Structure formats: C-alpha cells, structure tokens
Amino acid sequence: MTQKALFNPSFALVSGVLGVSTGAIFVRLADAPALVTAAYRVGLAVVILIPVIWWKNKDEFWRLSWCDLGTAVLAGFFLALHFAAWISSLDYTSIANSVVLVNTTPVWVGLLTPFLTQDRISRRTVKGIILSVSGGALIGAEDLVMGGRAWFGDLLALSGSFCAAGYLLLGRNLRRNLGLLSYTLPCYGSAAVFLWVMVILAQLPYNGFNTHTWAAFVGMAICAQIIGHTSYNYALKWFSANLIAVSLLGEPVLATFMGWILFQEGLTWIKLAGGVLILMGIYLAASGETTKD
C-alpha cells in the first residue's frame, strides 16, 4: 500500500521555499566568518533535532543499512560544501546575485537525474526549468557588472549550486524508502561535522560574537535549516529532485525582496520581471508532476 502523506507535500514544499529564502538575510545579519556561520547553522539544527529524532524515530535510525548511512553521509558532505561555497559568496557579491546563481541547481539536477535516480524529466518540466533559470538570469544580470571581486562570489555561488544538486539527488534516492527524521540526522549531522572540521583547520574564531550574531545563528538553524531544508526533504518523498530544485528558484524572488527591504539592495523592474518568469516556470514544472497518495 502506498504510504499516506502526514502533511500535504505541496504545503511542505512552499514552507521549504519560504524557509530557505531567509538564509541569505540571516547570513548578512551575522557578523562572523562564512564557514563559522555555516557550521552554526547546521550544528544548531542538529542539536535541536536530536531529541525529536530520538523520541520519534530511534528504532528506524538504528536499523539503517550501512549503504543508506553512507549515502546520507555523502549527501551531508555535498550539503556542507554547498553551504561553505554559497555563504562565502555573500562576502563578495549581492544577495540577489548569490541566490540566483546558487539556484541554477535545476540545470545540474536535470543533467544528472537520468544517471542517478529513476525519475524521468517531462517536457513540461524541461520548459519550466528553462523559464525559471531565464528569470533567475534576468534577476542577476544587473549585478554581474559589479566588478571587483564579484566574479569570485559568482563562482562560489555556482559551485554551491552544483553541490546542492548532488545533495538533492542523493536525498531523493534515500527518501523513497527512508523516514524523514532517519535521513536528516545522519545527513545534517555529517554536514555539521564536515563544516566544523573546516572551521578548526582554518583556525577561525567560533565564539565571542555579539548578541545579534548569535540570534542570526539560531534564526538560520530554525527558519532556514529546520523549516526550510527539512520541509523540502520531506517533499522529496513525493516529488522528484527536479521539481524541488525548480521550486527553490522562488528563493531569489523572496530573498531579493527581503534584501531590498532590510539592506536597501537594488530592486528594479528587471528583477521583478525575472521573478515573474521564475514563478511561471515553477508552476509549469509543478503542473507536470503528481504526488503519491
């Protein structure tokens, strides 16, 4: 019998997009090195989730096969690299440019899906990807001429995009038959370990921060990681990695708008037009998929 969804997968996906869209804002509010910010984001999320996972899913967790555990750890490795690259990119380029380039993930997911998962890409999904990525390019076009070290931030964001594709595709394979909490603990846990090893090796400061930085760390852990990432990891059981990646292109729209409100970063008619294209692409890709009842 096909498993029933505890929560509406579409609602979970929307919640995930809203959650991850806050990530860039919290990064800007945190007065800390990028790697330290990433390590606290995932590390605090793991600390918060462990009691819940232990209470709800400890039996399933202990029954994990070595293959599933290894795949979850590999997904965590890609997640760690994604955060390290993307959060670092925000030191060099604008929020709009960073979130647009890091959300070119559908391109990599679309190219890798036939080789790594059992999902097939429909023509409607391909059209949605093209439309959404075009909207993302439009949003970031004005920022690409920033000059200085902006190109390095762009490269880091693109690297983070590729790593996010690996994370999504590995998660899609596991989430078909594995419970949400049993997957997130080894995935987030290993990502936290990898990030903290990077922090230690780089000899970066990890304490002595001001109150608003600690608040930003907690905000990232709860809003961006637990609500954001865990919501779309939940949706991965019912939707393909392609749709998840395309839906996350809503992040540039929301993050750019929040960057305009909070940091007075540019919001122009071109960026608004790009946002419309992204939303149209998400709808087009989503309409080509059905959820399992």
1 found inside a domain: no
Q: Which of the residues in the chain have pLDDT under 50?
A: 1-2, 290-293
Task: Convert the chain into a string of H (helix), E (strand) and C (coil).
Answer: CCCCCCCCHHHHHHHHHHHHCCHHHHHHHCCCCHHHHHHHHHHHHHHHHHHHHHHHHHHHHHCCCHHHHHHHHHHHHHHHHHHHHHHHHCCCCCHHHHHHHHCCHHHHHHHHHHHHCCCCCCHHHHHHHHHHHHHHHHHHHHHHHCCCCHHHHHHHHHHHHHHHHHHHHHHHHHHCCCCHHHHHHHHHHHHHHHHHHHHHHCCCCCCCCCHHHHHHHHHHHHHHHHHHHHHHHHHCCCCCHHHHHHHCCHHHHHHHHHHHHHHCCCCCHHHHHHHHHHHHHHHHHHCCCCCCC
pLDDT on residue 193: 95
Q: How many CB atoms lie within 10 A of CB 131?
A: 21
pLDDT on residue 191: 94
pLDDT on residue 182: 77
pLDDT on residue 192: 94
The boundaries of the domain holding residue 97 are 28-286
20 found inside a domain: no
pLDDT on residue 291: 42
Tokens of 125: 């999904």
175 found inside a domain: yes
61 found inside a domain: yes
pLDDT on residue 127: 77
Nearest to 281 by CA among 254, 250, 251, 259: 250
pLDDT on residue 1: 35
100 found inside a domain: yes
pLDDT on residue 293: 37
Task: Quote the longest CA-to-CA distance of the chain.
Answer: 57
12 found inside a domain: no
When divided into structural domains, the chain yields a total of 1
Nearest to 113 by CA among 206, 207, 246, 13: 246
39 found inside a domain: yes
Does this model's pTM top 0.95? My answer is: no
pLDDT tens-place string over residues 176-204: 777 777 788 888 999 999 999 999 998 99
pLDDT on residue 283: 66
3 found inside a domain: no
pLDDT on residue 267: 58
